[in-house]
Amino acid sequence: MNFLRNYLDKQKPKFEKGGKLEKFRSVFTGFESFLFVPNRTTTSGSHIRDAVDLKRTMIIVVIALVPALLFGIYNVGYQHFKAIGVLAETDFFQMFFFGLWKVLPMIIVSYVVGLGIEFAAAQMRGHEINEGFLVSGLLIPMIMPVEAPLWMIALSTAFAVIIGKEIFGGTGMNIWNPALLARAFFFFSYPSMISGDAVWIAGDPTTTDAISQATPLAQMALGQPLTYTSADMFWGLIPGSIGETSTFCVLLGALLLLLTNVASWRIMLSVFVGGFLMSLAFEPVSHVEAYQQLLMGGFAFGAVFMATDPVTSAQTNIGKYIYGLLIGAMAVIIRCINPGYPEGMMLAILLMNTFAPLIDWFVVQSNIKHRLKRAKVNA
Amino acid sequence: MSKVIKLKKGLDIKLKGEAEKVVKAGGKCTLYAMKPTDFRALTPKLTVKVGDVVKAGDALFTDKANPGIKFTAPVSGCIEAINRGERRKLLEVVIKADSEITYRDFGKADVNQLSREEIITRLQDSGTWPLIIQRPYGILANPEITPKAVFISTFDTAPLAPDFEWILKEEGKNLQAGIDCMQKLCNGNVNLGVKEGIPQNAVFNQLKNVNITYFEGPHPAGNVGIQINHISPINKGEHVWTVNIQDLAIIGRLFTEGHYDARKTIALTGSEVKEAAYYKTMIGAQICCFTADKLKNEVHQRIISGNVLTGTKVSDKGFLGFYANQITVIPEGDTYEFLGWATPGFNKFSASRLFPSFLCPNKHYTLDANYHGERRAFVVSGQYDKVFPMDILPVYLLKAILAGDIDKMEQLGIYEVLPEDMALCEFVCTSKTPVQKILEDGIALMMKETN
């Protein structure tokens, strides 16, 4: 790789201060550090450093998302061909490539728009480009309905990155999970596009007719009997947002995140516990078994990939339990009580994102009180 | 039986180049130096000039704030150079040593017969007083106050740290004299942190007039700051003093031998050392006495006075730090690595589970001084807590320091920590946050604002 290194070394002066391409310094260092771990060595404090960095951490999350993404792509095709009644004549690859043809543009739009804004913001501030959007950029299409128009994905992504992240100072400073914020923006700005039953199945590309089909959540919200079995909901051959349908694939990702310790097991566990307990309490109203609540919609996906976002979740160990329990409980409450919007996970997580600093504040205060008390006992 | 405290949090970083348990003779060392920069918040006042002849134990400079505290020559000889940095900041007072050391005589004495004042005067005059460190802040001990206790850790858990039990096995008498001295200074509350599992007849188990607490667990279990936190944490307004165990023997020798005998045994360690072993030397010896023709010189090297987590980078023309008990030599690692973050990384060490290193806990690694990544905002949470065995919320303390919030710093426990106690947090940080630097700045701010 020496030729590449030599090439970069030759180009580097152009991007330094005073160079011809100074305006693109952030972009250059972004690509450079993507290709080569920099040669910078420690100047203060510990002489040796852990091999881990944010790129490594983020790439693990992306890998954890892959099973759900691949399944989601397949499921887009599956649902489409099932709805038009030609499932038996369609083979696996046809379904997969139909899904890919639908989903890939969404991923590209999300990355191009999001990374474009990140690059620009980093350059304006003289910062380096942050890895955070590698994950957000993949999450955004995965939590959208397949029939979401591309321009809306672009707009939601732009909103999430600018208002959700950059105005606070970039990755690490944001209050809300950027991907969920994109989804919330989409939902509240274009409610007609995301509610109802017409957006969950990819329409026929040759005609403009939409295909209408209720998700399990919608059926529950309307008090209709579920037409899907628990096994369907677990394996994921149901309509829903692209990446969220297969609880099994989400759990595969969860397994990787927990094995590598990238996501907090405290949060994941307590979201499921909170959700399950609240579902038990709501069984008489919802007419759905408690465990089925956890299989439906984006519950598992939210618990594994959204609630555990380290920046927007509670950061103290005790805080993480409280935060997780409340997310699980709130998600089910919103699902069962609010008929207008059947999916409670998004709002529950955003709400608890808002309150995470408050939860932490109480934990920090108890540490402070503890120390003051100790001083008084001794005095 | 004494108390045993088991610590679960922490991290042992296993490096290549552990010192073999033999004491080797180093090369002849002619240059020694005292460095005011080894002492936190010290403003030195020079008392010698180039060409002066000094005995071991004669003052080189004093503390401007507290002129009684003297910093003395570890060897006898002639002042070779006085090196200054920017704005004439005093960096080094270099002594060319005589071939035979002559000592300034302070007279042998039985510590138990001396009064507290007599002991303080003797420690200050001989230059052994700066071996005592005062917490909060890790500064020179203030002779005006009586600390609530003295804490001494008898073991070091840092990477490649020397084995003090082995080094000091014949120093029992001097250690006891040192303990007795500390007893007088703090009115009888001297605490010894001993590694759980050392033999019953080990030198530390034979010491008397001291409260022994046994500690078990990974680094930083051997850090005196962690031990204080578990025995009797420092509250606002309280002071404790600490001494390194090898320095305690030097203090003891002041009474048993009657002069400032700055001999110590250090470990020459690290992956770039040919014969990692122990060497007998004196405080302030020049680094090249140890490293000349003992290094591999295969790659660009970094020499550290101290350990890899808290030591100071020095050149081979530099000098051993006042408190240092080891020299570590590691590769500098100033090279680019193609797609380094994506490779499997079998030779990389990580406390996280993102590298295969967690599958082979007994493997020893060659680690270099590369950052292995770029500086980022705090993103990953809960990482510091796993390696920081104190009842303190490390990230919140650091954020209070970054915000310059004195009240919060106090409430969150700045009195209880020194940078060395949080060195592992810095090591494991995904965002490469300069933890020790932030804490150092916080301590400086506290001292400035609260005096």
Q: What is the pLDDT of residues A17-34, one digit of tens each?
A: 777 777 777 777 777 877
Name the residue with higher pLDDT: A84 or A351.
Answer: A351
Q: Is the peptide bond before B344 cis (omega within 30 degrees of 0)?
A: no
A378/B191: higher pLDDT: B191
The pair of three-digit structure tokens given for residue B188, joined into one six-digit string = 């009888």
Instruction: Kindly state the tokens that stand for B267.
Output: 């470990």
Q: Is residue A107 part of a domain?
A: yes
Among B238, B372, B392, beta carbon nearest to A50 = B372
Domain boundary among B276, B300, B331: B331
Task: Give the residue from B376, B395, B411, B417 with the most A CB atoms within 10 Å of its CB, the best one to mutate.
Answer: B376
Residue A5 within any structural domain of the chain: no
Asked whether residue A355 is domain-assigned, the answer is yes
> d(Cα A313, Cα A307) in Å, to the nearest integer?
7
Q: Between chains, do B428 and A50 touch, taking CB under 8 Å as contact?
A: yes
Residues of A in contact with B370 (CB under 8 A): 37, 39-42, 49
Contacts of B160 in chain A (CB under 8 A): none
Per-residue tokens: B335? 């090279």
Portion of chain B with pLDDT greater than 90, in percent: 79
> Is B439 within the bounds of a domain?
yes
Q: How far apart are the first and last CA of chain A?
A: 65
pLDDT at A259 over 80: yes
Across the interface, do B338 and A4 touch by the CB < 8 Å criterion? yes
Total structural domains in chain B?
A: 3
Looking at the fold, whether B213 and B154 belong to one and the same domain comes out as: yes
Chain B CB contacts of A33 below 8 Å: 374
In this structure, what is the dihedral angle of CA atoms A128, B435, B322, B231, given to the nearest 10 degrees? -170
Q: Give the dihedral sign, CA A323/A324/A329/A331.
A: positive
Q: Looking at residue A195, what is its pLDDT? A: 63
User: How far A11 CA lies from chain B's nearest CA (Å)?
Assistant: 16
By residue count, chain B amounts to 451
Q: pLDDT grade, residue B411 (50/70/90)?
A: very high
Question: Does residue A351 belong to any structural domain of this protein?
Answer: yes
- Nearest residue in chain B measured CA to CA from A369: B411
Say yes or no to pLDDT of A213 above 90: no
Question: pLDDT value at position A355?
Answer: 96
Cβ <8 Å between B371 and A375: no
Query: Are B430 and A38 within 8 A, CB to CB?
Result: no
Query: Is the same domain home to B309 and B389?
Result: no
pLDDT at A307: 93
Single-letter amino acid code for the residue at A104: L
- Taking contacts as CB-CB distances below 8 angstroms, the residues of chain B near A268 are none
Residues of A in contact with B413 (CB under 8 A): 371
Do residue B137 and residue B235 come from a single domain?
A: yes
pLDDT category of residue B36 using cuts at 50, 70 and 90: very high
The nearest alpha carbon in chain B to A36 belongs to B338
* B108 and B210 fall within a common domain: yes
Q: Residue A379: what pLDDT?
A: 61
Nearest to B335 among A4, A39, A370 (CB): A39
Residue B224 placed within a domain:
yes
Give the single-character DSSP code of B377: -
Cβ pair A59:B341 closer than 8 A:
yes
pLDDT at A212: 67
Among partner residues B338, B367, B395, which is closest to A48 by beta-carbon distance? B367
CA distance to partner chain B, nearest, from residue A75 (Å) = 30
Residue B90 inside a domain? The answer is yes
- Distant-in-sequence, close-in-space partners of A7: CB < 8 Å, separation ≥ 6: none
Of B350, B369, B370, the CB nearest to A52: B350
Among B334, B380, B397, pick the best mutation site for testing chain A contact (most A Cβ within 10 A): B380
Q: Which domain covers residue B430, as residue numbers? A: 371-450
**Which one is predicted more confidently, A379 or A108?**
A108
What's the total number of domains in chain A? 1
3-state secondary structure B293-350: CCECCCCCEEEEECCCCCCEEECCCCECCCCCCEEEEEECCCCCEECCCCCCCCCCCC
Residue contact B381–A45, C-beta within 8 A: no
Residue B329 pLDDT class (50, 70, 90 cuts): very high
- pLDDT at B284 (0 to 100): 93
Share of residues in chain B with pLDDT > 70 (%)? 99
Interface contact A367-B381, CB threshold 8 A:
no
Tokens of A142: 């995965």
Give the mean model confidence (pLDDT) for residues B267-293: 91
Q: Do B427 and A46 touch (CB under 8 A)?
A: yes
Residue that terminates a domain, selected from B228, B256, B284? B256
Q: Is the C-alpha dihedral spanning B111, B114, B116, B117 positive or negative?
A: negative
What is the span of the domain harbouring residue A94?
55-206+216-367
What 3 state SS string does A222-274 have?
A: CCCCCCCCHHHHHHCCCCCCCCCCCHHHHHHHHHHHHHCCCCCHHHHHHHHHH
Burial class (CB in 10 A: 0-12, 13-18, 19+), B211: middle
Within a domain: A66: yes
pTM attached to this predicted model: 0.91
Q: Which residues of B touch A169 (CB under 8 A)?
A: 377
* Chain B residues inside the 8 Å CB shell of A41: 302, 332-334, 368-371
Assign 3-state DSSP to chain B and report helix, strand, coil percentages, each to 5.
25, 25, 50
Please, what sign has the CA dihedral across residues B137, B142, B147, B151?
positive
- Predicted complex ipTM: 0.90
* Contact check, Cβ <8 Å, B432/A171: no
pLDDT at B152 over 70: yes
What is the pLDDT, as a whole number, of residue A342?
Answer: 67
Q: What is the pLDDT of residue B98?
A: 92
Q: How far apart are CA B120 and CA B146, in angstroms?
A: 11
* Shared domain check, B287 and B223: no
- Cβ-contact A121, A144 below 8 angstroms: no
- Is A318 a domain residue? yes
Total Cβ atoms within 10 A of residue B275: 13
The answer to whether the CB of B430 falls within 8 A of the CB of A54 is yes
Cα dihedral A299, A301, A306, A309, rounded to 10, equals: 130
CB contact under 8 Å between A47 and B369, yes or no, is yes
How many beta-carbon pairs below 8 A join chains A and B?
208
Q: Do B216 and B324 belong together in one domain?
A: no
For residue B108, tell me if it sits in a domain: yes
Q: Is B8 exposed, middle or buried (0-12, 13-18, 19+ CB in 10 A)?
A: exposed
Record the tokens describing residue A97, joined without a space.
């490539």
Check CB contact under 8 Å for A52 and B431: no
- Closest residue in chain B to residue A60, using alpha carbons only: B354
Last residue in a domain, options B331, B363, B381: B331
Distance, CA of A82 to CA of A97 (rounded, Å): 15
pLDDT tens-digit map of B121-149? 999 999 999 999 999 999 999 999 999 99
User: In A, which residues are within 8 Å of B347 by CB distance?
Assistant: none
> pLDDT grade, residue A232 (50/70/90)?
confident
- Whether residue A236 is contained in a domain is answered as yes
Name the residue among A40, A44, A169 with its Cβ closest to that of B436: A44
What 3-state class would DSSP assign to A345? helix
How many angstroms away from the CA of A5 is the closest CA of chain B? Answer: 8
> Given this model, what pLDDT does residue A225 score?
75
Task: Give phi and psi for B396, each to the nearest 5.
Answer: -70, -35
Quick one: B247 and B270 in the same domain? no
Residues B44 and B20 occupy one common structural domain: yes
Q: At what angle do helices B245-256 and B172-185 cross, to 10 degrees?
A: 90
Which of the two residues, A196 and B72, has the higher pLDDT score? B72
- Does B280 fall in a domain? yes
pLDDT above 60 (res A151): yes
Rounded CA separation B403/A368 (Å): 17
Residue B84 belongs to some domain of the structure:
yes
Q: Say whether pLDDT at A214 is over 80.
A: no
Rounded CA-CA distance B418/B395 in Å is: 15
Percent of chain A with pLDDT over 90: 40
Residues B445, B425 within the same domain: yes
- Is there a contact between B341 and A311 if contact means CB atoms under 8 Å apart? no
In contact, A106 and A91? CB cutoff 8 Å:
no
Mean pLDDT of chain B: 92
- Interface with chain B: mutation pick from A53, A171, A309, A378, highest number of B CBs within 10 Å: A53
Mark whether B12 and B146 lie in a shared domain. yes
B95 plus B239 within the same structural domain: yes
- A47 domain residue, yes or no: no
From chain A, the residues in CB contact with B236 under 8 A are 375
- Complete DSSP assignment for A6-38: HHHHHHHHHHSTTSTTGGGHHHHHHHHHHHEE-
